[in-house]
């Protein structure tokens, strides 16, 4: 195959779809003379929180920093040995955010069908040092938040949502990002709402935490040049904020386009042994990734690559087995998922013709067996 492969995600196609709006946003910022934490950031914080339907937004440098500062704002990681429970089947960024706050990640296994934190296994991860639970809404689907919140509340633990893959997903009618005490978003270019660079946001409806986060993201400054407490540099820049403002009005339609592709895959894929993504009852999935599983994943991946489909694997090595985070914990569901998951191309601009190529290539694997 000599034609360009069909990519798993495609930030260039996103840019091209919104080229004029993004260009105008960039020009407006260039001409304004305000380049970091200015009126575009403030406006985007308001617009994003309004779109979510709750809370205050605090723009930060990226999604990992959003997790870091959310934990810091709650004072988590300040005591040696503070533990934060999360999943190992996630982007390593989830664990990196915990690490940045000075806390220790403790990994809980996931549900077989949704790949999100298994509430039935949560309680046994809790120790006297546990301070928080970070629930990851993986691949675009909400974790099972009601039992997670219930267990956390009984043990006095803070619940933080990692929404980096879940912009717009719903849990029992409520948007993710409005369910925990704080929620963390990433605007990395491949996310459902992506910038042309890095960006992130913490959302919370707690006014005190909001104020704390504003200090933490910029040297602890309450006013310029005077630090009132610890602080870092994790600012959202005006170019990214303006670009995100230009794209936000299209996010719901983009998510609907992803869902239409998922429905087409669901109807068209017919390969023995292929497990299609399941949507938990009460969930609205936003299909950040379209993740199937197959026992012969590596062969299927190679077959697709040969046929012009650049499928991906999210993620090949669970965090608890990576050299930086190896814990000796046994997480059988996570470890099996890492061997079997395969991400098929999905992004709003993926054409019907390309979707057909993907479906045919997957279905043809039978012949390659
Ligand atoms: C992308 C991602 C992050 C981190 O976001 P960055 O902006 O890349 O730092 C965190 N958690 C999950 C689940 C992600 O997919």
Determine contact, residues 134/98, Cβ cutoff 8 Å: yes
Instruction: Write down the mean pLDDT value for the chain.
Output: 96
Classified by CATH at the fold level, domain 250-363 comes out as 3.90.1150
Note if the pTM is more than 0.85: yes
Q: Which of 8, 9, 64 to mutate to test the pocket of ligand 1 (most atoms within 8 A of CB)?
A: 64
CA 315 to ligand 1 center in whole angstroms: 13
List every span in the chain annotated with CATH 3.90.1150.10: 250-363
Closest CA to 160 of 93, 285, 71: 71
Mutation test of ligand 1: which of 8, 63, 69, 166 has the most ligand atoms closer than 8 Å to its C-beta?
63
What is the pLDDT confidence band of residue 224, given thresholds at 50, 70 and 90?
confident
* Residue ID of nearest Cα to ligand 1 atom 5: 63
d(CA 142, CA 140): 7
Nearest residue CA, atom 7 of ligand 1?
Answer: 63
Does 368 score more than 60 pLDDT?
A: no
Q: Could you tell me where in the chain the CATH 3.40.640.10 domains are found?
A: 13-248
Q: Ligand 1: which residues within 6 Å by Cβ?
A: 62-64, 90-91, 93-94, 136, 162, 164-165, 186, 188, 198, 200
Residue 97 Cα to ligand 1 midpoint, Å, equals 9
- Output the 3-class SS for 121-156: HHHHHCCCCEEEEEEECHHHCCCCHHHHHHHHHHCC
Q: Is the pLDDT of residue 2 over 60?
A: no
Distance CA 174, CA 169 (A): 8
Displacement of CA 43 from its chain's centroid (Å): 22
pLDDT for res 367: 53
Percent of the residues in the chain that have a pLDDT greater than 90, as a whole number = 94
Confidence of residue 58 (pLDDT cuts 50, 70, 90): very high
Q: What spatial distance separates the first Cα and last Cα of the chain, rounded to whole Å?
A: 20
Which ligand 1 atom sits closest to the C-alpha of 66?
Answer: 9
pLDDT band at 229 (very low <50, low <70, confident <90, very high): confident
Average pLDDT over residues 46-61: 97
Q: Which two tokens stand for residue 340?
A: 């079997």
Q: Whose CA is nearest to atom 4 of ligand 1?
A: 63
Residue 186 C-alpha to ligand 1 middle, in angstroms?
6
Kindly report the CATH class assigned to 13-248: alpha beta
- 308 CA distance to ligand 1 middle (Å): 27
pLDDT tens digit sequence for 126-147: 999 999 999 999 999 999 999 9
Tell which atom from ligand 1 comes closest to the C-alpha of 188.
Answer: 7
Ligand 1 atom 6: the closest Cα is on which residue? 63
Per-residue confidence (pLDDT) for residue 1, from 0 to 100: 47
Residue 338 burial (10 A CB sphere; 0-12, 13-18, 19+): buried
Specify the 3-state DSSP secondary structure of 207. helix
For 254-270, what is the mean pLDDT?
98
How distant is the alpha carbon of residue 269 from its chain centre? 26
Tokens linked to 152: 């956390």
Peptide bond between residue 315 and the one before it cis (omega within 30 degrees of 0): yes
pLDDT (mean) for 247-255: 98
pLDDT, tens digit (0-9, with 9 covering 90-100), for 98-119: 999 999 999 999 999 999 999 9
Q: CA-CA distance, 124 to 282, in Å (whole number)?
A: 26
- State the angle between helix axes of 352-363 and 297-306 in degrees (0 to 180), rounded to the nearest 10: 130
Per cent of the chain over pLDDT 70 is: 98
As given in the structure block, the two tokens for residue 133 are 């639970």
SS3 185: strand
Q: How far is CA 296 from CA 291, 302, 322, 341, in A?
A: 14, 10, 23, 10
Distance in angstroms (rounded) separating the CA atoms of residues 148 and 133: 8
Q: What is the pLDDT of residue 148?
A: 98
**293 alpha carbon – ligand 1 mean position (Å):** 22
Task: Strand 170-171: give its sheet, edge to edge.
Answer: 174-175, 170-171, 283-284
Per-residue pLDDT tens digits for 75-97: 999 999 999 999 999 999 999 99
What is the atom index within ligand 1 of the atom nearest the CA of 187?
7
């Amino acid at each position: 195959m000599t034609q360009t492969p069909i990519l798993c995600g495609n930030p260039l196609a996103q840019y091209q779809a919104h080229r004029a709006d993004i260009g105008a946003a960039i020009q407006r910022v260039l001409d304004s003379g305000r380049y970091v934490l200015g009126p575009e950031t403030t406006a985007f914080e308001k617009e994003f929180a309004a779109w979510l339907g709750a809370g205050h937004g605090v723009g930060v440098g990226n999604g990992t920093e959003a997790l870091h500062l959310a934990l810091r704002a709650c004072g988590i990681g300040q005591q040696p040995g503070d533990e934060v429970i999360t999943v190992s089947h996630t982007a390593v960024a989830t664990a990196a955010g915990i690490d940045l706050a000075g806390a220790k990640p403790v990994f809980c296994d996931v549900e077989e069908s949704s790949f999100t934190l298994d509430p039935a296994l949560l309680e046994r991860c809790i120790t006297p040092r546990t301070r928080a639970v970070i629930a990851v809404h993986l691949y675009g689907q909400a974790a099972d938040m009601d039992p997670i919140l219930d267990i956390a509340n009984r043990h006095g633990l803070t619940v933080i949502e990692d929404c980096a893959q879940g912009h717009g997903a719903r849990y029992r009618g409520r948007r993710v990002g409005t369910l925990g005490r704080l929620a963390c978003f990433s605007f990395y270019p491949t996310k459902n709402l992506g910038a042309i660079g890095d960006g992130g946001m913490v959302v919370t409806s707690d006014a005190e935490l909001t104020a704390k986060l504003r200090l933490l993201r910029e040297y602890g400054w309450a006013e310029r040049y005077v630090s009132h407490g610890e602080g870092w540099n994790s600012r959202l820049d005006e170019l990214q904020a303006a670009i995100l403002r230009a794209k936000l009005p299209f996010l719901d339609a983009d998510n609907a386009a992803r869902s239409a592709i998922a429905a087409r895959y669901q109807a068209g894929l017919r390969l023995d042994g292929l497990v299609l993504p399941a949507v938990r009852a009460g969930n609205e999935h936003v299909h950040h990734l379209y993740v199937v599983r197959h026992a012969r994943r590596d062969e299927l991946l190679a077959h697709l690559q040969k046929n012009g489909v650049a499928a991906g694997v999210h993620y090949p090595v669970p965090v608890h087995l990576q050299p930086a985070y190896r814990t000796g914990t046994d997480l059988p569901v996570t470890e099996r998922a890492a061997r079997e998951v395969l991400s098929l191309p999905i992004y709003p601009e993926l054409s019907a013709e390309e979707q057909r190529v993907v479906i045919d290539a997957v279905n043809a694997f039978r012949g390659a067996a």
